[in-house]
Amino acid sequence: MKSIYLLLIVGSYGFGSCNQDVKSEEPENTIETPEQQPKVKPKNIIFMIGDGMGLTQITAGMIAKKDNLNLERCPIIGLSKTESADNIITDSAAGATAFSTGVKTYNGAIGVGTDTLPLKNIIEIVETHNIATGLVATASITHATPASFIAHQKSRFMDQEIAADFLNTDIDVFIGGGKTHFTQREDQQNLLKQLEEKGYHIATGIEEVEAVGDGKLAGFIADDHPVKMSEGRGDVLTRATKAAINLLVMGDKGFFLMVEGSQIDWGGHANESDYIISEMIDFDNTIGAVLDFAEKNGETLVIITADHETGGYAINGGDRAAGTVDGAFTTDYHTATMVPVFAFGPGAEIFSGIYQNTAIFNKMLASYGISIE
Ligand SMILES: [Zn+2]
């Protein structure tokens, strides 16, 4: 009798290790309750996503910097549950679509639901209220995270279709890599020409981006993905973010800006602590510039979070004085752990607590005072 019992335990343990493939039940979207309305509504929202930025990535950045990170200036902390509609482990497409539309979808989906039909995203919604909009990323601007805020495609790998979707919106400013998806196309179209006809300044390189003084901007800082920090990318994320804010703040109805530190995730996939840390500190420097702006401006809510953790990253030791960490990894993919949410500015208080990633969409719209039908 005893030995059978033991066998059963071993058996269930064996199945447990396969949990990754088990489909998770579709989680309920969080329903907004009256107490989740902000006390004071912000005019502007800057939503910052550190792709793959879990608590360990943040901690490693603190140790390596030998100082506080800028995100520690945020007084409100929450936790976000990251699973997608079809997997306990989300990818960046489903993760960003949860933020941009408030709906859990399948991994790989760009702004579409589990039925592959388009979902209205936050940029499309706030545009109808004359709120200016922008996207900045240290990846191709057609990559999964920024794409989910602008495009509607069945698959994250449809870069050319995603690029064409930029023309279907009135986004005011976008800055990132991926210029070739707009110029070297199978359909032979030059989307930059079409963007120009729609009134966009086209800028290539960060100096040209910074030189644009008004109007709409399509800014490209690389033909494909921008290089790593360790390969000399420099402070383009901070500079591009400041340039975007300078343009967006000119509108009198407020703005929405999404900023992605794209490559923290890629350091996790590569299982390289140094890659994670240099990208984490770059993202945090941009957070510092954004918080400086928000502090002076007084009407800007800043939200900083991640779509998921990457690498199952752990710190198994290190030297605080030397600023080094002994990093360890459980996977070269993402994990299902919750990720932190940091909030600063008017309305920040509604981001405390533990909630689904989709609730962040609801909370952002509640912050603008926009209710969706
Ligand atoms: Zn990833």
The enclosing H or E element of 236 equals helix 236-248
Residue 40 domain-assigned (yes or no)? no
Residue 250 domain-assigned (yes or no)? no
Task: For residue 303, report the distance from its CA to the centre of ligand 1, in Å.
Answer: 20
Task: For residue 334, report the distance from its CA to the centre of ligand 1, in Å.
Answer: 6
**Residue ranges making up the domain that contains 57:** 46-163+255-368
Residue 373: predicted pLDDT: 64
Task: For residue 40, report the distance from its CA to the centre of ligand 1, in Å.
Answer: 35
Residue 324 domain-assigned (yes or no)? yes
Task: For residue 373, report the distance from its CA to the centre of ligand 1, in Å.
Answer: 33
Other Cβ atoms less than 10 A from the Cβ of 15: the count is: 9
Residue 202 domain-assigned (yes or no)? no
* Strand pairing class (173-177; 255-261): unpaired
Residue 213 domain-assigned (yes or no)? no
Task: For residue 265, report the distance from its CA to the centre of ligand 1, in Å.
Answer: 5
The pLDDT tens digits for 320-362 are 999 999 999 999 999 999 999 999 999 999 999 999 999 999 9
* Strand pairing class (314-319; 173-177): unpaired
Cα–Cα distance for residue pair 313/331, rounded to 1 Å: 8
Q: Which of 92, 140, 148, 273 is catalytic?
A: 92
- Burial per residue of 49-65, b for 16 or more beta-carbon CB atoms within 10 angstroms, e otherwise: bbbbbbbbbbbbbbbbb
The pLDDT tens digits for 228-282 are 999 999 999 999 999 999 999 998 999 999 999 999 999 999 999 999 999 999 9
Q: Are the C-beta atoms of residues 21 and 327 closer than 8 Å to each other?
A: no
> How many domains is the chain built from?
1
Residue 25 domain-assigned (yes or no)? no
Task: For residue 92, report the distance from its CA to the centre of ligand 1, in Å.
Answer: 6
Residues in the chain with pLDDT values less than 50: 1-27, 29-32, 34-35
Strand ranges inside the chain, DSSP E: 44-50, 76-81, 132-140, 173-177, 200-204, 216-220, 255-261, 300-305, 309-310, 314-319, 324-328, 334-335, 339-344, 353-356
Task: For residue 310, report the distance from its CA to the centre of ligand 1, in Å.
Answer: 6
DSSP assignment string, 300-334? EEEEEE-S-EES--EEEEEETTTTEEEEE-S-SSE
Task: For residue 200, report the distance from its CA to the centre of ligand 1, in Å.
Answer: 31
Residue 36: predicted pLDDT: 78
Global confidence as pTM: 0.91
Is 17 annotated as catalytic? Answer: no
Residue 27 domain-assigned (yes or no)? no
The domain that holds 283 is classified in CATH as 3.40.720.10
Residue 322 domain-assigned (yes or no)? yes
